[in-house]
């Protein structure tokens, strides 16, 4: 278990030491908050759907978690050839321990990013409706982070180089973000897109965050938690299996 701890710590140190990367990763969420929040705010309110900024912020938190988590999984591809991964693979430690350490670490980093976006959202007058639920929301952030870090690692375990990464970003991650209810309510989507959204893990993540922070629910807390927890468990198993099969 020392292995898990030290690999978790390593991910954390790497993140905290790279101030430019932290700020850089906040750029996109902030851009969306400012551009969409202020851009669509009036239209949204006029349509009778309420405060768009409140609606949007949990979605953007979901976005930052998604992107951070997936990219820490993808880091694996580089690590495999040029980095630290080989050192861990040659060491007398279990692959599962290595996988868990990395994944927990990556998930922690994604959660911290989510918390930073939440903190920054106070500047645009975002107000969570309850402190207790906000704390639960942070736990939810960790769950979602875990899900997507495990997913990123599982995908990266099968990839040998970066070409696949471009495909993944454009045909998986972007659609996951845009069709998750992060930017606009699900009920206003055409049926086909709605169905796709129901298969998207981020949809439930965003719904959970939005519900816990602003008490706006599309589904409900139990369904969201059930699906997220189940998927996370599955992806952790799948990820650790694929990871254990890695050869250099």
Partner 1 sequence: MENIIEVKNLTKKFADFVAVDNISFDVKKGEIFAFLGPNGAGKSTTIKMLTTMLHSTDGDIKINGFDTKINQDDVRRSFGIVFQDPSLDDELTAYENMELHSVLYNVDKKNRKNRIEDLLKLVELWEKRKDLVKTFSGGMKRRLEIARGLLHHPKIIFLDEPTLGLDPQTRNLMWEYLKKMNKEENITVFFSTHYMEEAAKIADRVAIIDHGKIITMGTVDELQQKTKTDSLEEAFLKLTGSAIREEQAGNLDQMRARSRIWRK
Per CB under 8 A, residues contacting partner 1 are 2-3, 6, 10, 13-14, 17-18, 78, 81-93, 160-162, 247-248
Torsion of CA 83, 89, 90, 93, to 10 degrees: 130
For 25, 166, 202, the CA distances from 63, given in Å and listed in that order, are 11, 18, 9
Least CB distance from residue 180 to partner 1, whole Å?
31
Q: To the nearest 10°, the Cα dihedral for 54, 224, 27, 104? A: 140
| Shortest distance, position 2 Cβ to partner 1, whole Å | 5
Is 103 or 121 the residue whose CB approaches partner 1 more closely? Answer: 103
Toward partner 1, which CB reaches closer, 162 or 234? Answer: 162
CB of 158 to partner 1, least distance (A): 14
What's the helix, strand, coil split of the chain in %, to 5? Answer: 80, 0, 20
Among residues 78 and 96, whose Cβ is nearest to partner 1?
78
Give 54 or 113: the residue with its C-beta nearer to partner 1: 113
What is the C-alpha separation between 136 and 123, in angstroms, rounded?
21
Looking up tokens 């107000």, which residue turns up? 127
Q: Nearest-CA neighbor of 192 among 175, 209, 213?
A: 175
Smallest gap, in angstroms, from Cβ of residue 237 to partner 1?
Answer: 22
């Amino acid at each position: 278990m020392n292995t898990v701890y030290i690999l978790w710590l390593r991910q954390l140190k790497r993140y905290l030491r790279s101030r430019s990367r932290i700020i850089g990763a906040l750029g996109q969420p902030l851009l969306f908050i400012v551009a969409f929040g202020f851009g669509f705010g009036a239209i949204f309110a006029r349509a009778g759907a309420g405060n768009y900024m409140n609606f949007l912020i949990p979605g953007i938190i979901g976005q930052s978690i998604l992107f951070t988590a997936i990219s820490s999984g993808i880091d694996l591809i580089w690590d495999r050839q040029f980095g630290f991964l080989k050192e861990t693979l040659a060491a007398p430690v279990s692959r599962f321990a290595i996988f868990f350490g990395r994944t927990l670490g990556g998930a922690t980093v994604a959660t911290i990013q989510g918390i930073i976006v939440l903190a920054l959202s106070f500047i645009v007058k975002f107000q969570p409706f309850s402190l207790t639920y906000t704390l639960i929301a942070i736990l939810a952030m960790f769950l979602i982070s875990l899900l997507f870090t495990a997913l990123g690692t599982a995908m990266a375990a099968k990839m040998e180089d970066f070409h696949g990464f471009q495909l993944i970003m454009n045909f998986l991650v972007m659609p996951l973000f845009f069709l998750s209810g992060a930017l606009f309510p699900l009920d206003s989507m055409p049926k086909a897109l709605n169905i796709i959204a129901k298969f998207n893990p981020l949809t439930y993540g965003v719904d959970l965050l939005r519900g816990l922070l602003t008490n706006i629910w599309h589904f409900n807390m139990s369904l969201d938690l059930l699906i997220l927890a189940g998927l996370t468990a599955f992806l952790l198993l799948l990820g650790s299996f694929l990871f254990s099969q890695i050869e250099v």
